Amino acid sequence: MIQRRHGVENLKVKGFEIFNPFQAISHLGYLKEWEAVKKEFSELPLDPFCDPNYIRKRRYSYAYINSHSHELTWPPDSYDEQCVYYQGNFNNEHKDIHRKFPSISIGVRRNPILKLLIDNDFNRTFWRTAEVRQYRVGIHLVRLMVTPHSPRAVASPDVLHRDGEAFTFVHLVNRQGVSGGENTVATIDAVGLKAGDATSAQIHARFVLERDLDSFAVCDDMVCHAVDSVVLADGADHGFRDVILIDFTPVLPVLGMN
């Protein structure tokens, strides 16, 4: 279900874009690798910063991508058991907190689908300067899970927000046994509002990611976004919504260094 206010969206013009790159995976014969990505989510550990009333699972690591060669490199500390993630003041639930999440597995790092998604996403970005050669790439694997004893799950933050990274891409991996989870993209002046409290003038689009690799991208300087909670669907004994989040931030060159 997709409702757009401005018609066809474009990341550079509108600040957001909705797309689905699954055809590339099918064309390249990566269906087995795609199933391996899906399986990874069943083994995610609990998000240590999740409200105990909900179930959210997560892994996180980061890498660097060269803007010319698209070579991806993983710094040594990204292989640590836990990887540090910092958003400054952009997450109202965890302001100025250096959060540590379990790192993503070697299997995911080596899976060609991750590099395919990163390259596809990076090619959609745009930048104000050509001098930047390296970009930090953040990769989150997040599962929102519901059960009869915990029938609702929320993202963090659960209000309209900016991420603090220049571009963020959200890719649906799997969705079963849940309802809800509507995404909202809005104007920046809606930051801090619940999606349902934003005015029609502030809302660019509302949509639900439903199929494998239904995806969207946002430019952090132009829009804010949120996802509603998911709830246990009628007749389901459990449910989940699995997404890969990929974000890009330029690594600014230091004066006097090559």
Residue 253 tokens, joined:
């060159």
CA–CA separation, 105 and 173 (whole Å): 16
Residue 174 counted as domain residue: yes
In a domain? residue 198: yes
How far does the chain reach from its first CA to its final CA, in angstroms?
48
3-state SS assignment for residue 46: strand
Is there a domain that residue 126 lies in? Answer: yes
The answer as to whether 257 is a domain residue is no
Q: Count other Cβ atoms within 10 Å, centred on residue 172.
A: 22
- Measured CA to CA, the distance from residue 41 to residue 110 in angstroms comes to 16
pTM above 0.95, yes or no: no
Q: How far apart are CA 121 and CA 146, in angstroms?
A: 29
Let me know if residue 258 belongs to a domain.
no
Classify the C-alpha dihedral 193-197-202-205 as positive or negative.
Answer: positive
Say which CATH number the domain at 184 has: 2.60.120.620
Tens-digit pLDDT profile for residues 15-72: 999 999 999 999 999 999 999 999 999 999 999 988 999 999 999 999 999 998 999 9
Total domains, the chain: 1
Domain holding 168, by residue range, is 2-250
Residue 256 located in a structural domain: no
pLDDT tens digit string along 172-213? 999 999 999 999 999 999 999 999 999 999 999 999 999 999
Element (H, E) at 39: helix 31-41
